[in-house]
Structure 1
Amino acid sequence: MAAAVSLFGVACFLWVILGDLFADLDSAAALPEPLEMIGPLAFQLGWLTLLVMLVAAKPRLLPAWSPLLVLVGFLLFAANLDLLPIGALLLMAGTDSCGPHVQAIVRHGTKDSRPTGRESVLSSKAHPNGE
């Protein structure tokens, strides 16, 4: 559900951006006013929910400070657009540790089926190309 909410927010955001870039698109298919406000909020809440779910998972897949950094970054965007570079750095720092965990889940199906310790070393030796 959180992923769907995030994707809805991304779609609304892209619609607004494309409307800004192409005036004909904006006049032909303008995004309704309520969606212009709800879209970014849906994206932010969906993203934060996904991060919190990764923190709450057993075993913990992200450090607890990760969603907090992302939240502070979003709050900086809302406070003043001049703080955009600092907010972007906070978003990057908050999501930096997502990469290895997401890659492992995609590669091995679920977080519980990932090889750990000696199993991962043995599987990488058995399959030199990493498969």
Structure 2
Amino acid sequence: MAGMNKILLTAPALLVAYGIVRLIDGIDGSHGPGLAWTVGHMFMLLGFLLYAVVLVHLRGLVRRPRWQASVAMTAGLIGVLAFVRVIVIDLIVGFRAADRPEMSRIGDEYDRWPGNLGIYDLAYTVGPVLFLLGLLTLAILLVRAHRLPIWSPLLLVLGFVVITVNLDLMPLGGALLLAAIVPLTRTVRPLVNAG
């Protein structure tokens, strides 16, 4: 359980780290390419990969209704996949480009990567929503099961709102996501059915 607690805390902490590096990267008025761009995106990539583990773990904590937990986990994982795709493209573009204008040009080359599957516009809009809805639904189910306090889902929503308003607020948004999940690392009680 100690290993899972570390993952629960590390996933949002990596988003905080990404946000801090992003602020440093933007000091000159532009984000990327360069070391800060790459390091920040690696933090974010690892954070979202860990969020995939978190979603599966949270789903396992919900005894009933299992079908709702499974749907929420699946939605969240689709959202993670959408984020990972965008982050990987950002990393590739950052590696290839010499400056910000070249990043824009190269980014256009990857707009439909990998292949024109007709889902990419949705990936940018629906993907983040699916991630939030999946994570939020699991948190609500865990509130019903008395595994999370009522304020945890509220902090999740607030964290996402803050991030959506301005990516420069990512450290604050990530901290809110972290605060929302901390109570799970402190409970060792047996699982309670959410009935």
1:12 aligns with 2:100: no
Counterpart among 68, 78, 91 of residue 21 in structure 1 = 91
Superposed CA offset, 1:85-108 (max 9, x none): 11111111111112344x766xxx
1:53 aligns with 2:144: no
Counterpart among 89, 102, 114 of residue 175 in structure 2 = 89
Superposed CA offset, 1:10-32 (max 9, x none): 01110111122225993651662
Q: 1:28 to 1:74 in 2, by over 3 A?
A: closer
Larger relative contact order, structure 1 or 2 (CA cutoff 8 Å, min sep 6): 2
TM-score by length of 1: 0.69
Shift of residue 81 of structure 1?
A: 1.7
The corresponding residue for 1:71 is: 157
1:80 aligns with 2:166: yes
Gaps of 5+ in 2: 1-70, 94-105
Output the amino acid matched with 2:179.
A
- Distance in structure 2 (CA, Å) of the matches to 1:82 and 1:21: 19
Identity %: 37
Shift of residue 45 of structure 1?
A: 0.8
Number of residue equivalences: 105
Runs of 4+ in 1 over 6 A off after TM superposition: none
- Distance in structure 2 (CA, Å) of the matches to 1:44 and 1:32: 18
Gaps of 5+ in 1: 106-110, 113-131
Write the mapping of 1:96-115 to structure 2, written as runs, cut at 5 A.
96-101=182-187, 111-112=191-192
The corresponding residue for 1:40 is: 128
